[in-house]
Amino acid sequence: MVKLKFIQARGGLTTTERILQIIQNNPRGLTMKSLSQETNRPISMLNICLRNLIKDKQVKVRLSNNRMQQIYHKA
């Protein structure tokens, strides 16, 4: 029989809180790739978190100057 050991969650910021903190510290905005590198989280997870932040009007998204990438910045 397999024994499972449940561990307590470590304190700290959630991924959504961490994303918001990083965006607030970068007024020029960040790309998805740079957010992924900063948070060490997959883009799929960031998409979910950013969707909620955009819906709650805490983050805005715009296209880069060359219109090739989305830039996420503080609302």
Could you count the other beta carbons within 10 Å of the beta carbon of residue 48? 11
Query: What's this model's pTM, rounded to 2 decimal places?
Result: 0.79
Task: Record the tokens describing residue 66, joined without a space.
Answer: 């060359």
| Alpha helices in the chain, H assignment, sequence order | 15-24, 32-39, 43-55
pLDDT tens digits along 32-48 = 999 999 999 999 999 99
CA distance 15 to 21: 10
Residue 57's pLDDT band, with cuts at 50, 70 and 90, is very high
Task: Record the tokens describing residue 71, joined without a space.
Answer: 């830039």
Residue 12 has pLDDT above 90, yes or no: no
CATH classification of 19-74 is 2.60.120.10, yes or no? no
